[in-house]
Amino acid sequence: MSADNPAVNHAAAAPLPESFHAGRFASKVVLITGAAQGIGWAVARRIAAEGAELVLVDRSPLVHDIAEGLRAQDVKALSVTADLETFEGALAAVTAAVTEYGRIDVLINNVGGTIWAKPFEHYAPEEIQKEIQRSLFPTLWMCRAAFPEMVKAGSGTIVNVSSVATRGLNRVPYAGAKGGVKAITSALAMEGAAHGIRVVATAPGGTEAPERQVKRGPAPEGEQEKAWYQQIVDQTIDSTLMKRYGTLDEQAGPIVFLASDEASYITGSTLAVAGGDLG
C-alpha cells in the first residue's frame, strides 16, 4: 500500500461499524464501482468484512491502494481502473471480474456526483452533457455489461445508487441523471425477475465524507458560486427530518443490506436514505 498516501492508508485501516454481519457474503463475488473513496469505499470495507470476494473499480489509480490494503487483511480483492462513462470501460471491468472469478453475483453501481452547482439557466450545454455523462452512463453501461453474465448464471443482484437530489436546488442536470438511475432500476427489475435477478437502488441524501482525493469538479469560485452552493447545503439539511447530513456508514449499511440475501423479496424499489427526505 502506498506509504506516501495517508488518506488511503487511513481508509484501509479504519475500524468497522459494530453492525456488520460476518459471513453474510461468503462465497459471493461483488463488483463495486467508484470504490476508491466516499460511499463506494465504505461499501467495499464493510462488504469485505462480511466475506465477499471483491472487484473494485474506479477511474482513479487510488483503487489499487484500497485493494492492496484489503488484501493485507486476507481479503480477495481485484482492482480495475476503467472509464465507466464508456461502454468499453464497463465491459473491460466486467470482463476482468469474470476472468478472475468466473462470475459476478452482485453489482453495486456507485459512480456519479454533481460537478457544478448553479441555477439551470446558468448551465452551458456542454456542462449539462458532462453531468449526464458522469452520473447516468456509468450505471447504464455497467448494467448493460453485467446483465448478460447474470442472465447466463440465472441469478444476480444489482444495487444502483440514485439520489434524493432528484428534487433539489441548483442541480437540474444531475437530478435528471439520477432520475434516470431510478428509472433504470425499476425497468430492469421487470426484465431481470424472470432470470432470478434483483435490481434495487438507494437514494442517498447529503453525506459527510473526508475530502476527496479526486475532485468531482471545480470548487465554487466567487461569491455568487459560493452562494449557490450554500443554497444546496441549506436545502439539503432543511429537507431532512433529522436536520443533518448522514455518514458514510449510514449510506453503506442500506446498500449492503439490499445487496444481501436478506433482501431477497425486494426488487424494483429505490430506498431513500436521507434522514426522512424522500426526494
63 closest CA partner among 31, 98, 42, 34: 34
Residue 165 grid cell: 437530489
> From the candidates 101, 123, 174, 265, which is the catalytic residue?
174
The angle formed by the CA atoms of residues 8, 13 and 14, to the nearest 5 degrees, is 95
Q: CA-CA distance, 159 to 240, in Å (whole number)?
A: 23
User: Could you say which DSSP state residue 239 is in?
Assistant: H
Q: Count of residues for the chain?
A: 279
Instruction: Output Rg (C-alpha) for the chain, integer angstroms.
Output: 18
* Known catalytic membership, residue 229: no
Q: What percentage of the chain's residues is helix, strand, coil (to nearest 5)?
A: 50, 15, 35
CA–centroid distance for 80 within its chain: 15
Catalytic annotation, residues? 174
